[in-house]
Structure 1
Amino acid sequence: MAHIPVNHPARTLYRIFAALIGLYILVFGVIGVIQTWGEPLFDRGDHWVLGLRTNLAFALISVIFGAVIIIGTAQRGNLGHFMNLTIGVIFMVTALLMMAVLQTEANFLNFSMSTVIVSMIFGLLVLATGLYDKVGPPAEAARARAYPHRPVSSPAPDRRR
């Protein structure tokens, strides 16, 4: 079973990174909604906001996800842990799917390659936050720190004597 640290000392730093990502996505979405308001939802126009191409649908989704990330990082319990794990995976899967349809009519969110790269990086950072922000009672944290980390394969003792 994988080991997810409990009450990790850098938990606050990871949550700050995730909150900054959420803030960037929220600001990107709000500016994108303002710039693309009145256009078709899935327009494939040439609107760029904060270095990323967007349309009204992607801007609205960004507002929602930015708010969800900020709410997730503000949670003290394990709800934020599970939210960050889920959102990180969603970002990475979305980036891969949109990269697959980048130069086709199926690119309904108007992604560019820079948007794919930023989505992948944000997904990895939010996923890392989810991996390191698990909260537990002090006894569980002490038990997790005392867990002996051994290499997968250790050399067999030499029994020739």
Structure 2
Amino acid sequence: MAHFPVNHPARPLYRVLSGLIGLYILVFGVYGVAETWGDGLFSREDTSALGLRTNLAFSLVSVIFGAFLIIGASRRGNLGHYMNLTAGAVFLVTGILMMSVLQTQVNILNFSMATVIVSLLFGLILLATGLYDKVGTEEHAEEERRRREHPIAEAHR
């Protein structure tokens, strides 16, 4: 069974970090939609927004994902925890898949290597924030602290 830290002291920092990533993705998406409006949905032209190549489809998906991440970062419960874990996995899988089709006609989102690197980086950061922003009861958090401070005594119980 996976172990996720509960009520981690750096939770606010992780929520801000995921919110900033969401804000960047939302701004990228809005700017990308403005830049690619009128082009084909899956255009492979050399259009970029905020330094990353994009097309209309990728820009629209970015607007949705950016809003998704901002909503997740603004929630106090475990919804943000699950949203960050999911988004991190999606970004990692998308980055790897798009890297494998980078120089082919299957590159429907118009990724470049820089876009792949940013996607993988955001995926790792979001996965890390998802691992450390779980919320639990105060009793559960206290048991977690006791286990962390006295691991040998807890192992013999």
Please state which band the TM-score falls in when normalised by the shorter chain: over 0.9
Normalization by structure 1: what TM-score?
Answer: 0.91
Please state whether the residue corresponding to 2:62 is helix, strand or coil.
helix
User: Could you list the per-position Cα deviations for residues 91-111 of structure 1 after superposition, in whole angstroms to 9, with x for gaps in the alignment?
Assistant: 000000000000000000000
Q: Which residue of 2 aligns with 1:24?
A: 24
Q: Distance between the aligned counterparts of 2:114 and 2:55, measured in 1? A: 15
Partner of 1:91: 91
Is residue 104 of structure 1 aligned with residue 104 of structure 2? yes
Count of aligned positions: 150
Question: Could you say which residue in structure 2 is the equivalent of 1:117?
Answer: 117
1:137 aligns with 2:137: yes
Distance 1:75 1:127 in 2: 17
Q: Distance between the aligned counterparts of 1:96 and 1:27, measured in 2? A: 23
TM-score relative to the length of structure 2 = 0.93
**Aligned equivalent of 2:50:** 50
Q: What residue is the counterpart of 2:7 in the other structure?
A: 7
Is 2:75 the counterpart of 1:71? no
Once the two structures are superposed, residues 72-105 of structure 1 have per-residue CA deviations (whole angstroms, 9 ceiling, x without a partner) of 0111000110011001000000000000000000
Q: Match for 2:34: what amino acid?
A: I
RMSD: 1.0
Alignment partner of 2:119: what SS? helix
Task: In structure 2, list runs of 5 or more residues that go unmatched.
Answer: 153-157
% of aligned pairs identical? 66
| Larger gyration radius, structure 1 or structure 2 | 1
Offset at residue 145 of structure 1 (A): 1.7
Give the Cα–Cα distance (whole angstroms) in 1 for the partners of residues 40 and 151 of structure 2. Answer: 55
Change (3 A) 1:88 1:149: farther
Q: Separation in 2 of the partners of 1:145 and 1:103?
A: 50
Residue 36 of structure 1 corresponds to which residue in structure 2?
36
1:153 alignment counterpart: none
Give the 4+ runs in structure 1 shifted more than 6 A. Answer: none
C-alpha deviations, 1:13-41, integer Å up to 9, x for none?
01111100000000000000001001110
SS at match of 2:115: helix
C-alpha distance in 2, partners of 1:22/1:94?
Answer: 16
Task: Report the 3-state secondary structure (helix = DSSP H, G, I; strand = E; otherwise coil) of the residue aligned with 2:53.
Answer: strand
Give the Å deviation of 1:149.
4.4
The equivalent of 1:59 in structure 2 is 59
